[in-house]
Amino acid sequence: MLSSQLLLIHGPNLNWLGKRDPKHYGQLTLADIEDLTRQTAKQNSFQLSTYQSNHEGALIDTLQTRTSNTVGIIINPGAFTHYSYALYDALLDTQLPIVEVHLSNINQRESWRSISVTAPACIEVIWGEKEKGYVRAVEILANHLRTTP
Protein backbone atom coordinates (compact mmCIF):
# COMPACT_ATOMS: atom_id res chain seq x y z
CA MET A 1 0.00 0.00 0.00
CA LEU A 2 1.27 3.44 -0.90
CA SER A 3 1.72 5.62 2.12
CA SER A 4 1.84 9.26 1.03
CA GLN A 5 0.58 11.73 -1.56
CA LEU A 6 2.70 14.04 -3.71
CA LEU A 7 1.20 16.81 -5.83
CA LEU A 8 2.68 17.63 -9.25
CA ILE A 9 1.64 21.04 -10.60
CA HIS A 10 2.33 22.39 -14.08
CA GLY A 11 1.89 26.03 -15.02
CA PRO A 12 1.09 27.82 -18.28
CA ASN A 13 1.82 26.34 -21.71
CA LEU A 14 3.05 23.04 -20.31
CA ASN A 15 -0.08 21.40 -21.70
CA TRP A 16 1.63 21.96 -25.08
CA LEU A 17 4.65 19.82 -24.28
CA GLY A 18 5.48 17.63 -27.25
CA LYS A 19 4.51 20.53 -29.54
CA ARG A 20 6.81 23.17 -28.06
CA ASP A 21 10.45 23.72 -29.00
CA PRO A 22 12.07 20.30 -28.34
CA LYS A 23 15.50 21.93 -27.90
CA HIS A 24 14.27 23.55 -24.69
CA TYR A 25 11.43 21.30 -23.61
CA GLY A 26 12.23 17.84 -24.98
CA GLN A 27 10.03 15.46 -26.98
CA LEU A 28 7.71 14.16 -24.27
CA THR A 29 4.12 15.26 -23.79
CA LEU A 30 2.71 16.39 -20.47
CA ALA A 31 1.01 12.98 -20.10
CA ASP A 32 4.38 11.25 -20.72
CA ILE A 33 6.05 13.33 -18.00
CA GLU A 34 3.20 12.69 -15.59
CA ASP A 35 3.42 8.93 -16.25
CA LEU A 36 7.19 8.95 -15.69
CA THR A 37 6.83 10.96 -12.50
CA ARG A 38 3.99 8.71 -11.29
CA GLN A 39 6.15 5.60 -11.84
CA THR A 40 9.03 7.16 -9.92
CA ALA A 41 6.69 8.18 -7.11
CA LYS A 42 5.30 4.64 -6.89
CA GLN A 43 8.84 3.22 -6.73
CA ASN A 44 9.38 5.50 -3.74
CA SER A 45 6.07 4.49 -2.06
CA PHE A 46 4.15 7.63 -2.98
CA GLN A 47 0.95 8.28 -4.85
CA LEU A 48 0.98 11.20 -7.27
CA SER A 49 -1.82 13.56 -8.17
CA THR A 50 -1.36 16.08 -10.97
CA TYR A 51 -2.75 19.40 -12.06
CA GLN A 52 -2.04 21.80 -14.94
CA SER A 53 -3.46 25.22 -15.64
CA ASN A 54 -2.65 28.24 -17.73
CA HIS A 55 -4.26 30.43 -15.05
CA GLU A 56 -2.40 31.73 -12.02
CA GLY A 57 -5.47 31.82 -9.77
CA ALA A 58 -6.33 28.20 -10.60
CA LEU A 59 -2.85 27.11 -9.51
CA ILE A 60 -3.25 29.01 -6.25
CA ASP A 61 -6.73 27.54 -5.70
CA THR A 62 -5.28 24.07 -6.24
CA LEU A 63 -2.54 24.67 -3.70
CA GLN A 64 -5.12 25.87 -1.19
CA THR A 65 -7.57 23.00 -1.73
CA ARG A 66 -5.47 19.95 -2.60
CA THR A 67 -2.58 20.02 -0.15
CA SER A 68 -4.24 18.99 3.11
CA ASN A 69 -3.44 15.31 2.41
CA THR A 70 -0.20 16.02 0.57
CA VAL A 71 3.31 15.56 1.95
CA GLY A 72 5.28 17.27 -0.82
CA ILE A 73 4.92 19.28 -4.02
CA ILE A 74 6.72 19.28 -7.35
CA ILE A 75 6.00 22.38 -9.41
CA ASN A 76 6.95 23.71 -12.80
CA PRO A 77 5.43 27.18 -12.58
CA GLY A 78 6.26 27.99 -16.21
CA ALA A 79 6.44 31.73 -16.84
CA PHE A 80 4.83 32.42 -13.44
CA THR A 81 8.26 31.51 -12.02
CA HIS A 82 9.55 34.92 -12.97
CA TYR A 83 6.92 37.24 -11.55
CA SER A 84 4.16 35.57 -9.51
CA TYR A 85 4.59 36.64 -5.93
CA ALA A 86 1.03 35.42 -5.35
CA LEU A 87 2.10 31.89 -6.35
CA TYR A 88 5.18 32.22 -4.13
CA ASP A 89 2.93 33.14 -1.18
CA ALA A 90 0.60 30.20 -1.88
CA LEU A 91 3.55 27.79 -2.05
CA LEU A 92 4.95 29.13 1.20
CA ASP A 93 1.54 28.90 2.88
CA THR A 94 1.38 25.13 2.24
CA GLN A 95 4.29 24.68 4.66
CA LEU A 96 5.28 21.62 2.61
CA PRO A 97 8.61 20.68 1.04
CA ILE A 98 8.57 21.79 -2.59
CA VAL A 99 10.88 21.13 -5.52
CA GLU A 100 10.72 23.50 -8.49
CA VAL A 101 11.48 21.93 -11.87
CA HIS A 102 12.23 23.51 -15.25
CA LEU A 103 12.74 21.41 -18.36
CA SER A 104 15.09 23.92 -19.95
CA ASN A 105 18.17 25.53 -18.47
CA ILE A 106 16.63 28.84 -17.45
CA ASN A 107 20.11 30.26 -16.82
CA GLN A 108 21.15 29.85 -20.45
CA ARG A 109 18.15 31.54 -22.02
CA GLU A 110 16.81 35.11 -21.92
CA SER A 111 18.16 36.99 -18.90
CA TRP A 112 14.69 37.44 -17.38
CA ARG A 113 14.23 33.65 -17.23
CA SER A 114 17.08 33.28 -14.74
CA ILE A 115 15.00 35.06 -12.08
CA SER A 116 12.75 32.82 -10.00
CA VAL A 117 10.55 34.54 -7.45
CA THR A 118 9.07 31.13 -6.48
CA ALA A 119 12.40 29.39 -5.76
CA PRO A 120 12.79 30.75 -2.20
CA ALA A 121 9.67 28.75 -1.23
CA CYS A 122 11.37 25.53 -2.39
CA ILE A 123 13.91 23.16 -0.88
CA GLU A 124 15.56 22.76 -4.29
CA VAL A 125 15.33 23.96 -7.90
CA ILE A 126 16.18 21.75 -10.87
CA TRP A 127 16.66 23.11 -14.39
CA GLY A 128 17.92 21.87 -17.71
CA GLU A 129 17.43 18.14 -17.16
CA LYS A 130 14.26 17.81 -19.28
CA GLU A 131 12.05 14.98 -17.93
CA LYS A 132 14.86 13.62 -15.73
CA GLY A 133 14.35 16.67 -13.54
CA TYR A 134 10.96 15.34 -12.48
CA VAL A 135 12.48 11.97 -11.55
CA ARG A 136 15.11 13.75 -9.47
CA ALA A 137 12.45 15.91 -7.83
CA VAL A 138 10.61 12.82 -6.56
CA GLU A 139 13.88 11.38 -5.27
CA ILE A 140 14.77 14.64 -3.52
CA LEU A 141 11.36 14.82 -1.85
CA ALA A 142 11.49 11.14 -0.86
CA ASN A 143 14.91 11.61 0.73
CA HIS A 144 13.84 14.83 2.43
CA LEU A 145 10.69 13.24 3.86
CA ARG A 146 12.61 10.16 5.09
CA THR A 147 15.29 12.23 6.83
CA THR A 148 13.33 15.20 8.19
CA PRO A 149 11.47 14.66 11.45
**Strand residue runs (E) in 57-122:** 72-76, 98-102
User: Which of 10, 88, 102, 134 is the catalytic position?
Assistant: 102
User: Which of 10, 25, 88, 134 is the catalytic position?
Assistant: 25
* 39, 137 contact by CB (below 8 A): no
Give the helix ranges, DSSP H, for the chain. 22-25, 30-43, 56-65, 85-94, 132-147
Beta bridge partners of 7: 49, 73
CA nearest 71: which of 34, 102, 36, 44?
44
Active site residue 24: no
CA nearest 52: which of 72, 76, 22?
76
Active site residue 134: no
Just list the catalytic residues.
Answer: 25, 102
